[in-house]
Structure formats: C-alpha cells, structure tokens
Structure 1
Amino acid sequence: MTTTAAATEAPAVSAPAAPRGDPALIGVPTFIVGATALGLVLTGYVPAAAVGASIAIILPATGVGQLVAAVWAAALGESAVAAVFGVFAGFWLSYAALVLGLLHGWFGISADAAIATQGLFLIAWLVTIGLLTLTTLRLPVAFTLLFALVDLALALVLYGTVGGSTVATTAGGYAVFAFTAVGVYLFAGAVSAATGGKPLPLGKPILS
C-alpha cells in the first residue's frame, strides 16, 4: 500500500465544534434585574438609609452575570460584545464595593469625604460609559439609546449626590427605569431569535 493510498483510507478527524450561543441571554436579564433594584433605591422605594438594599441582587446576580457574559462573548471572538459586558461588570461590581465599603468603613473614608467619594465614582463611570456611548454610533440605534440613558442617569445622580438634590436623584432613578425598559426590549429580541423567531427591529445606526 502506498503512502498516498494509506492517507486516503485514513479516517478523517473532525475539528471540534466552535462554541455557539448568545451571551446577551445571560448578560441582558442580569443587567435588567440589577438596574431595576437600583432604580427602586434611587426613587425611594426603600429608606435612604437602606442604600445597601440592592447589593444582594447587584453583587451576586448582576455583577457575576455581566462577567459570565463577557467571558462567553470573548470565547466566541465577539470582542465588542465582550467589551460592553466587561465594562458593565466593572460598573456593577465596583458599585457594590463602593456601597459596602462606605457602609462598613472598609476604605478608611471619613464621613466628611463620603459625598466626594461618591462623586468621584460617578464622574469616572460617566466618562467611561460616555465614551462607550460614542462607540455605539455605528450600531443599531437601540444600543445608542440604552447607553445615552445610562449617561443621563449617571449625570442626574451625580448632580443629586454632589448638589444634595433629592429631585435630581429621583429623576436619575426614573432614567434608570427608562434604560431598563430598553434592556427588556433587547432581551425580548434576543430570546425571539434564540427560539427560532424573528429578532425585533433595533433601528438604523446614527453613523453608517
């Protein structure tokens, strides 16, 4: 038997199947539940002193869920999706760390510096997510709307925190509910596509 014949008769070795799926099916609902909890805190559903009420959801569900979605997207080679979920994993986990740290005095921050510390947190994330918003201008407009509403919520809460305005903080909570509604729409479209249906229309990009 010649070498060529042996090679021809050798069984073919199939390559392992590439991972498939949609990380949004984990990332978006865990984002929704954390945002809903945060919106309820900001709009006064719980007393102002109970600011940590949302952490039981945000830390183990939203923060971890965003991280899982980011890793999944990276495994699929979807770098932009991984970046979005990775950024929001950082936001939610750092929010939980901020609240728990201030409540328990973990970071040696005095009571006099608490407001400035919260302002630092909000400014840093407003800059970061504002930049992220600009990168979505070539994506369907639903994504740009989502991030723009996140920016609005951060700006209102920043003003409410630093300026001592409960009206602005409450308005920020309603902005949170607004971007949560956009998240619900995105999740509905992702589930529809994943179950064999048609995805929901997301609108044309602002920049083509």
Structure 2
Amino acid sequence: MTTAVATEATEAPVRTTPEGDPALIGVPTFIVGAIALGLVLTGYVPADAVGASIAIILPATGLGQLIAAIWAASLGQNAVASVFGIFAGFWISYAVLVLGLTHNWFGVGDAAISTQGLFLIAWLVTIVLLTLTTLRLPAAFTVLFVLIDIALALVLYGTVGGSTGATTAGGYVTFAFTAVGVYLFVSATSAATGGKPLPLGRPVLN
C-alpha cells in the first residue's frame, strides 16, 4: 500500500494540450491590411501616397500575424504557424520597403522600380511555394493562396512594366482574396462561439 502511494506521488502530472484558434487574430488582422492595400492599388489615394496604408499594415497586420504565428507554434500547430509567420514577414517587409523608399533609407537612387520588382519577385516565388505545400488544407485556403499569387503577379507586372491597369487589377484581386479571408474568419468565429464552421471544401490533395 505504501509503495503504491509513493509511486503515485512521484508520477508526473498529466499535461493537457492548450486549446485555441490563432486564426481569430491572424485572419482579421490579415483582412484589414489587405483592404488597406487594395484601396492603395485601386487608386483610392494618390499614386504618391503609397505610405497611406502603413499605419494599418505595420502595427496591426504585421504584428497581428506575428502574434498568431507565435500562438499557433505554442499550440503545436506547425503548419498554421508557418503560414502566419510567412505572412508576418510579408506585411512587415512591405511596410519597411515603402518607408525605406519614401525616406531613401536604402540608397537605391534611381533603382526604386527594380527594388520593388525584387521585392515582388521574391515574395511571389515564396507564396507560390507556400501554395504548393499547403494543398492538403481545405480548398478555401488554396483559393486564398492562388488569388494572392495572382495579385502579386499583376502588381509585379504593373510595377516593372509600368502598367497602371495591371496594378489596379491586382488591387481588385486583393479584394477578392480579402473576401475569402472574411469567409474563413466567419467560419472560425462560428466554431469558436459554439456554432458550426462553414464548409471549406475538400483538399486538392488527400
């Protein structure tokens, strides 16, 4: 009897896995930044006021994505942490790019267009890679990532090729993937408040 009590006392306590959904922070902060970016790309503000969205993108979207990534990692949701971490990098680096070019932090001189092209190419390749590696997620996520790829490609062409039409089209595609983000947020919020999540579609790969 004494031995059994001693053995029980020395056993490590059972740890329960914490619960939570980082999407409840990550998705809405992504939405607000995407709306701001879409408004810039579609000409809501003058062309020389590209920094108008930074007050939202840097402290809200960039920080929100980072918080969501850390939260997901703490829950052991590695794929989710990767997605939010990648987008934290995108939004924060976008803010730094705009601020840097506006205030001539980088000393690129007349290479501003090439610098923007470099940024867009690097991120387009990375997000396309993310799209391909997350095809086992529900189809709604694949649609989201594909639309982001298209928006980046259009903005890249518009920037490097000097096509305002392509840039504007990229802005409207930004609103399209924002709408998908809204759908995902409604689904996550419904589940978090005791309801059923919305149908997200079958994964492209099983």
Normalising TM by the smaller chain, what interval? over 0.9
The alpha-carbon distance between structure 1 residues 5 and 92, as it changes in their structure 2 partners (threshold 3 A), is closer
Unaligned ranges ≥5, structure 1: none
* TM value normalised by structure 2: 0.95
- How far did 1:191 drift? 0.2
Relative to structure 1, the CA distance from residue 60 to residue 11 in structure 2 (aligned partners, 3 Å threshold; closer, same or farther) is same
1:12-31 equivalences in 2 (<5 Å): 14-31=13-30
Matched residue, 1:121:
119
Q: Deviation at 1:102?
A: 0.2
SS of the residue corresponding to residue 49 of structure 1 reads coil
> Paired residue for 2:66?
67
Report the counterpart of residue 171 of structure 1 in structure 2.
169
Distance in 2, Cα, partners of 1:98 & 1:139: 31
Instruction: Note the alpha carbon deviations across 1:118-143, whole angstroms, 9 max, x for none.
Output: 00000000000000001121111100
TM-score with structure 1 length normalisation?
A: 0.95
Give the share of equivalent positions with the same residue, in percent: 79
* Distance in 1 separating the partners of 2:124 and 2:33: 18
Superposed displacement of residue 16, structure 1: 4.8
CA distance in 2, matches of 1:158, 1:93: 18
| CA drift at 1:106 | 0.8
- Aligned counterpart, 1:54: 53
Shift of 1:19: 2.2
Distance 1:15 1:107 in 2: 53
**Against the structure 1 CA distance between its residues 132 and 11, is the aligned structure 2 distance closer, same or farther, given a 3 Å change threshold?**
closer
Distance change (3 Å), C-alpha of 1:193 and 1:124 = same
What do residues 74-116 of structure 1 show as CA deviations (whole Å, max 9, x unaligned)? 0000100000000000000000000000000111110x10000
Task: Tell me how far 1:3 sits from its aligned partner.
Answer: 3.5
- Aligned-residue CA RMSD (Å): 1.6
The letter of the residue matching 2:136 is R
Quote how far apart the aligned CAs of 1:155 are: 0.2
Q: Distance in 2 between matches of 1:10 and 1:142?
A: 49
Q: Does 1:98 align with 2:97?
A: yes
